[in-house]
Amino acid sequence: MAEGSSTPNSGGEPVLGGWFLKAPEKRGKAQRRYFELFFLPLSAEIRYYSDIEFNQESRVTRGKVQDQKGAIPIYHGSVILFNSEEPILAVCNPTRTWKLTADSIEIAGEWGKTLRKVVADNRAVDAGEEDPGTRYSVLNIPKPKGPAPRAAAS
């Protein structure tokens, strides 16, 4: 948690990270990308990258800023779809739907459950039912562990 804040990882560190195959928006082929979930002061965001690096000193895997390909906003109106039969996760916003395929059903489920909690928390804060100063504190998400495997060359 950032010092002076009860919001976990609000200082800009990712709270979840992993590889997904991202379906194209309109046409083209799916691309393997590294995704990270960030908590922002008033919302959350998934950033995705074409490449990552592992900082040996801080033991943190991070997307390279220069290789960031995009971001997916997560807010009170986002709809998160996943099930226990396929490793597919969909993030639906009014202007776009992102379809992501995980390496396993378990990974898609972990991300899906976490994102649904984030959306529910955003709704509660926006409705005045939760204190914005404690946004996401109930999630108890640990920091990402160790290096992620590099994307397979395609």
Helix H or strand E segment including 118: helix 105-126
**Listed range (104-108, 121-125, 129-133) with the worst mean pLDDT:** 129-133
Summarize pLDDT for 15-57 with one digit per residue, the tens. Answer: 888 899 999 988 899 999 989 999 887 789 999 988 776 554 5
Residue 130's pLDDT is what?
A: 76
- Mean pLDDT, the chain, whole residue set: 78
Q: Is residue 149's pLDDT more than 50?
A: no
Which one is predicted more confidently, 107 or 142? 107
| Residue 49 near residue 69 (C-beta atoms within 8 A) | yes
Q: CA-to-CA distance for 63 and 78, rounded, in angstroms?
A: 24
Give this prediction's pTM.
Answer: 0.76
* φ and ψ of 107, to 5 deg: -65, -45
Amino acid identity, position 109: G
Q: Is residue 139's pLDDT more than 60?
A: yes
* φ and ψ of 80, to 5 deg: -110, 120
Longest Cα–Cα distance of the chain, Å, equals 47
Which one is predicted more confidently, 87 or 121? 87
Q: Is 54 helix (H, G, I), strand (E, B) or coil?
A: strand
Output helix, strand, coil percentages for the chain, rounded to the nearest 5.
20, 35, 45
Q: CA-to-CA distance for 100 and 82, rounded, in angstroms?
A: 10
Q: Is residue 66's pLDDT more than 70?
A: no
